[in-house]
Amino acid sequence: MAAALQVLPRLARAPLHPLLWRGSVARLASSMALAEQARQLFESAVGAVLPGPMLHRALSLDPGGRQLKVRDRNFQLRQNLYLVGFGKAVLGMAAAAEELLGQHLVQGVISVPKGIRAAMERAGKQEMLLKPHSRVQVFEGAEDNLPDRDALRAALAIQQLAEGLTADDLLLVLISGWGTPAAHRDDRYQCHGHPPLVPAASVMA
């Protein structure tokens, strides 16, 4: 035992065998490569479900800007497009929609969770925010995902806009999520906004 203890310090000071060193470096490089690949895969997955890219995959304007294409359907634009929405990701979706649609968008109303705009500003996610002179009115409510007076006000504003449309108007409906707390499933319309009564010519996305 004593002899072994005397040998150990000498082994610790001895240089590593080149083969062992190269093997360690190779394993480290391989681990770093895997970590980088995992990071890239994660960022790609997150990027694929961001509101802006998702919306642009579903909506597009023809080169002349006179028709809105929603997946495989075309809708004629004549200053007749309105927007409503509700859910956590709807703020970013509405921002992307307004940027895409421009002057074709007449008016919009969205219901989003309380504090989401401030959270986006703190995170520096300017692309998820509406412009200062946006045509989309934002209602924040349903704190902690529970129904409250602010959420009800948002639902009534959405309903009022939708019921005021005609058969010649288009309504773009943006929805994110739809899950509700188990204890409040009977109140899901209050949590997320009353399903708007839309005309036959509406657009669902």
Distance CA 59, CA 41 (A): 25
Helix (H) or strand (E) holding 96: helix 90-101
**Opening angle at CA 93, ends 106 and 50, nearest 5:** 160
How many CB atoms lie under 10 A from the CB of residue 139?
21
Whether residue 106 is contained in a domain is answered as yes
CATH number at residue 114: 3.40.50
Task: State what percent of residues in the chain have pLDDT above 90.
Answer: 39
Rounded to a whole number, what is the distance in angstroms from the first to the last CA of the chain?
Answer: 76
In this structure, what DSSP letter does residue 126 have? Answer: G
Domain that holds residue 121: 77-178
Pairing of strands 73-76, 203-204: unpaired
How many CB atoms lie under 10 A from the CB of residue 90?
27
Q: What is the pLDDT of residue 46?
A: 63
Token pair listed for 134: 């946006």
Distance CA 90, CA 101 (A): 16
How many structural domains does the chain have? 1
Q: What is the pLDDT of residue 27?
A: 66
Q: What is the mean pLDDT of the chain?
A: 78
Token pair listed for 93: 């979706």
Whether residue 101 is contained in a domain is answered as yes
φ/ψ (deg, to 5) at 85: -170, 160
Whether residue 183 is contained in a domain is answered as no
Model pTM score: 0.67
Band of pLDDT at residue 41, cut at 50, 70 and 90:
confident
Whether residue 3 is contained in a domain is answered as no
Whether residue 134 is contained in a domain is answered as yes
Residue 95, pLDDT > 80, answer yes
Residue 12, pLDDT > 80, answer no
φ/ψ (deg, to 5) at 202: -75, 160
Whether residue 68 is contained in a domain is answered as no
Distance CA 178, CA 86 (A): 9
Q: What is the pLDDT of residue 145?
A: 85
Most confident of 2-6, 39-43, 150-154: 150-154
Q: Please, what is the angle between helix 90-101 and helix 51-58, to 10°?
A: 50
Whether residue 6 is contained in a domain is answered as no
